[in-house]
Structure 1
Amino acid sequence: MFPGSKAALMDEGFASLPEAPAEDPLAPLIQRILGGEVDAFEDLMARTEARVLALAWRMLGDRHLAEDAAQETYLRVFRSLHTFRLGERFEAWLVRIAVNVCRDLARKRGPLPVPLDAMDTLPGDPAAADAEETALLYQRRALVHRALESLPQAERAALVLRDLEGLSTEEAARILGVRPVTIRSQAASARAKVQAFCARLLHPHGGRP
């Protein structure tokens, strides 16, 4: 459990809160936390950690780093949850924090290679039907992750948020602090580079046997 207590939260001025908006399914849970139910933070983590881990893994290319990033993300969330504005979509706010954490870790430790034989399924993904499908699934994911590793950080972030996380161009732009046109350009460039990277490995002789 993260440091803190109900009394500490109440001292922060969380006792009087506006009504939670109905649009965000996580809003009632967040309101409980801000109202002093610190134990509800564990429920919030349980409902969102798979997405945070998947995002961090895609951004960093290493499962251990992704776990470190997830832990740091939730520490920052716990410390700054009182700044979250009810009415904003919580997962967008959470993703913004996770992206910043991943950027910090990437700057400190640098990108790491992604070995083809060390990839696991993403959290929450369904199991493949048989061993052959599982092997092919690992191969495809490993190839994509190696391609992501080859991208500049800005392009990688744009592609992960826009194409893999399914955020809108506007949401990705807000999270990364750039204009939507920049996101579109970076995502398009990254997409083309990933396709070219995969094509080079899958067809090293230009398609010739």
Structure 2
Amino acid sequence: MDAVVKKIIIEVKKGDQQAFSELVEIYKDKVYQVAYRMLGNAHEAQDVAQEAFLRAYTNLETYDINRKFSTWLFRIATNLAIDRIRKKKPDFHLEDQVAGTEDLNYYSQIATDEALPEDQVVKFEMQEWVQNEIMMLPPKYRSAIILKYMEDLSLKEISEILNLPVATVKTRIHRGREALRKRLRDS
């Protein structure tokens, strides 16, 4: 795969703009998944994925052909997602009162967690719950947890994507895991 990708990148650098669409085709799903897992919103994830490919195209001259392209591309997507998270402000809080009601807050609007007979539904709900709890982690821990456990990347790859030393990545994964464990236990 890496040899094919290198060949495509060389073609793009020579001016073959059409060759870049091959790179998009190869990586579009993975880039979208990284963005979606960090943002939890399909529309925003699509925006971030498109922006990541646009930035990759315009900055391709700075890409080191001897490094893994996917790592470079995931770094761009992760940084864009983190920037978007930092700029976002919550629209409401669960403790806020629902407009037009007396003493009714958004917590009361959340469905119960009663177990359903279908195992698949329960599994899906569990995954969604864990994903929601991951979304509540600070971005620096969230990105490390997602890249490690959901994208199954190595510490070295995560280190390159986040542009951090491996030791810092290990610390963020550990602290993120601890924060997630506490969130899951307390909710």
Find the partner of 1:82 among 61, 64, 86. 61
1 CA distance for matches of 2:135 and 2:90? 7
Aligned position for 1:40: 19
Note the residue ranges of structure 1 that are not aligned, 5 or more in a row.
1-21, 118-131, 202-209
The question of 1:181 aligning with 2:167 is answered yes
TM alignment of 1:1-209, pairs within 5 A: 23-110=2-89, 132=118, 134-201=120-187
Report SS of the residue matched to 2:17.
coil
Partner Cα separation in structure 1 for residue 21 and residue 140 of structure 2: 32
SS in 2 for 1:151: coil
Which is richer in helix?
2
CA distance in 2, matches of 1:84, 1:180: 21
Deviations 1:106-153 (A, max 9, x none): 12224689xx99xxxxxxxxxxxxxx4552343132112111122111
Post-superposition offset of 1:170:
2.5
- Quick one: percent identity of the two aligned structures? 29
* Distance in 2 (alpha carbons) for counterparts of 1:190 and 1:108: 21
Q: Alpha-carbon deviation of 1:23?
A: 4.5
Contact 1:60 1:111 in 2 (8 A): no
Deviations 1:90-112 (A, max 9, x none): 00010111111112211222468
Aligned to 1:4: none
In structure 2, stretches of 5+ residues that fail to align are 94-109, 112-117
Distance 2:64 2:90 in 1: 33
What one-letter code is carried by the residue in structure 1 that aligns with 2:10?
Answer: Q
One-letter code of the match for 2:75?
R
Classify the secondary structure of the residue corresponding to 1:39.
helix
Inter-CA distance 89–24: structure 2 relative to 1 (3 Å threshold): farther
Residue identity matched to 2:41: D
Higher relative contact order (Cα pairs below 8 Å, separated by 6+ residues): 2
Q: In structure 1, how many angstroms separate the alpha carbons of the residues matched to 2:4 and 2:17?
A: 18
User: Taking structure 1 as reference, are residues 178 and 86 closer, same or farther at Cα in structure 2, changes over 3 Å only?
Assistant: closer
Q: Per-residue displacement from partner, 1:40-63 (whole Å, max 9, x unpaired)?
A: 222211110110011001111211
TM-score (norm 1): 0.69
